[in-house]
Amino acid sequence: MTYTNTDISFKDTSTNEPNKYDWTFDDGTFLNGTTTNPVIHKYKLPGIYNVKHKAYNNCGVSNECTKELTLIDPPAEKWRCSDPLTNTCVRDDTNGTFTSESACKASSTCQPTTPPPPSSGILTGIIALGIGLVMMIKKKW
């Protein structure tokens, strides 16, 4: 099996000195001429295709063959957050939960967070105001 929207390389292995080729890709695409190896084709839709190839030499048809090719859509890619502090996502088709990098970055699980405030405590300080006036201040934070 091969994935759709992927370049597929076809190679002529004909004998008897071919100098002209016909390729029928069974998706409405036909290629003929003197194009040498490899021939690249891309299928857009999943399905079963019969690729037909004819090679000609100066005496006519040298070789003719048909090959069945099954195409499927590629699996959906998956992404996961690798570092929320830097909002970084990586492709992880096994453990990822997001269908795109942008969806991963936009998720709440991959947003940089503000560190929590320090735990509450009492700060005690002494401030001198004016001449000989000392005051105790307790501040809760």
Residue 14 is which amino acid? S
Query: Which residue from 59, 16, 38 is spatially nearest to 51, judged by alpha carbons?
Result: 38
Cβ atoms of residues 19 and 56 within 8 Å: yes
d(CA 104, CA 91): 10
**Phi and psi torsions of 108, nearest 5°:** -70, -25
Query: What pLDDT is recorded for position 16?
Result: 84
**CATH code of the domain occupying 2-72:** 2.60.40.10
Return residue ranges of the chain for CATH 2.60.40.10.
2-72
What's the confidence (pLDDT) of residue 98?
86
Distances (CA, A) of 6 to 2, 3, 35, 52: 8, 6, 20, 19
Q: Residue 127's pLDDT is what?
A: 39
Residues 6+ apart with CB under 8 A from 102: none
CB neighbour list of residue 135: distance below 8 Å, 6 or more residues apart: 126, 127, 128, 129
Q: Is 64 helix (H, G, I), strand (E, B) or coil?
A: strand
Residue 116 has a pLDDT of 52
Which residue has 């090719």 as its token pair?
A: 69
Give the pLDDT means over successive 10-residue stretches in the chain (141 positions): 90 86 93 84 95 90 87 87 87 83 85 58 40 41 44
Instruction: Look up the pTM and report it.
Output: 0.57
Report how far apart, in Å, the C-alpha atoms of 20 and of each of 35, 36, 51, 66, 107 are.
Answer: 8, 9, 17, 17, 55
Structure letter (DSSP) for residue 107? S
